Amino acid sequence: MMGFADLLVTPILLLLVYSLAVLVKKRVSTEESSVYFIPGLLIKVGGALSLGIIYQFYYGGGDTFNYYQQGTLLYDLFFRAPLSFFKLYFIHQPVDEHIAPLLPYLYWWNAPSEMFVVRMSALLGLICFNTYSSIAVLFAVISFSGLWAMYTSFVRLFPGTEKTMAIAVFFVPSVFFWGSGLMKDTLGIGALGWLIYGFYFLFVEKRNIIGASLAILLSVWLLFQVRVYILLSFLPPALFWIILENNRMIRNKVLRWLLKPAFIGLGVLSAYVGSQITSGHRKYDLEKIGQLTKINAEYLYSQSVLEGGSAYYLGELDGSLSSMLSLAPSALVVSLFRPYVWEVRNPIMLISALESLFLLLLLLYCLIRVGPWQFFVLALGRPFLLFCFSFTLLFAVAVGLNSFNFGTLVRYKIPFLPLYTCGLLMMLEYVKLKKDMAISS
């Protein structure tokens, strides 16, 4: 929980973070994009601190403080028994006489993804005197680094869209609030940003090979630790993006035709690798995913009903693939457009409802401005737009089926929001560009 020490340490850390940001801004941005570097960072930091304040004074606690409190146990262990700390941090087992007394309080001990965040909290605590708000700020910085990597990739792909991309990546409320504090979601969206950066530079631009490869390896490892389903939803759309982008660059029609089997082979290989990544995983093994979706959705729904929370019900899930497919359209709608304004039960939910309403209106505006047929032609014909919307569809269906609770859904869905918003705004950019070209000619 936040206390007096936060008031002493956090301002100093903020000054250091700001000073470092000013120093590196010119190295990682162009003249046009640099305008959004400091605002993007500050809104992430503001989101991290706001999340802590709301959890402490509105909710009276929650996961973010649970991560911190359990991380504090490891932080204290570092000073009492450093060897045991590193043993617990890196190899998890075996339990020794210093670790054993902590186990009754480490109730995420057997939950690897949550325990990873606890370890991260403890590690970052060592450099900021283990103050909650300072750790939250450092989580926000990690997340911002990934989002900036995503942003720079997008503006290189579409020069002149710096403002449009900044709105989509940095200024969607759910992203800078739920994706900035001491939470798994913060690490997940940061890793997604670095993954997109790595794929873009390695497979599309084919430059900065070492850096891009390291970004992919690190982000895949991090996603495997905290949010494997982000990785599973990312791989198929990203593969189509890469294939279509590279295929479009080949001017020779014969060569393009001859290379298609290689592209198909790459797709099959990637699908196989994706299935092997989660093979045997207790949550994401593809053979068990239907049953696990049923268990997760029923648990969250029942807990929400018992606590008087904001539950939603899509229909009967029996653990089969057919039942998941039958509910997929409803899951898509709930992820993209709900909660509706009339479903709001608290101020936090109101923000989510207004955001969903805005994105619905933006979609309708795009359909009217672009035209329904041209909208789908652009979405299918432009590799980047296909990537944005196919990732959104896959991810939205997955989180809609797994949540059955608006409070959980609003956190789960943040990875697709930048891509979905970006896709819609880029639709309008295409139309604007087409009209400008028509006028000039």
Whether residue 159 is preceded by a cis peptide bond, meaning omega within 30 degrees of 0, is no
375/311: higher pLDDT: 375
Highest-confidence segment of 1-10, 185-194, 350-359: 185-194
**pLDDT tens figures, 103-115:** 889 989 888 899 9
Residue 347, pLDDT score: 83
Read off the pLDDT band of 437 (50, 70, 90): very low
The yes-or-no verdict on residue 307 having pLDDT over 60 is: no
Read off the pLDDT band of 441 (50, 70, 90): very low
What burial class does residue 85 get, using C-beta atoms within 10 Å of its C-beta: 0-12 exposed, 13-18 middle, 19+ buried? buried
Report the C-alpha gap between 105 and 339 in whole angstroms: 36
265/49: higher pLDDT: 49
Average pLDDT, the chain: 84
Contact status, residue 157 vs residue 200, Cβ threshold 8 Å: yes
The yes-or-no verdict on residue 206 having pLDDT over 70 is: yes
Looking from the CA of 432 toward its CB, the CA atoms found within 13 Å total: 10
Q: What is the mean pLDDT of residues 76-92?
A: 85
Report the C-alpha gap between 224 and 221 in whole angstroms: 5
The yes-or-no verdict on residue 440 having pLDDT over 50 is: no
The yes-or-no verdict on residue 260 having pLDDT over 80 is: no
Residue 365, pLDDT score: 94
Report the percent of the chain where pLDDT is more than 70: 82
Helices H, strands E: what count in the chain? 19, 0
Q: What is the mean pLDDT of residues 136-161?
A: 95
The yes-or-no verdict on residue 266 having pLDDT over 90 is: no
Residue closest to 147 by CA, chosen among 114, 115, 186, 111 = 186
Q: What is the mean pLDDT of residues 49-67?
A: 91
| Among 38-47, 160-169, 222-231, 270-279, the least confident range | 270-279
Overall pTM surpassing 0.85 (yes/no):
yes
| Among 246-255, 341-350, 432-441, the least confident range | 432-441
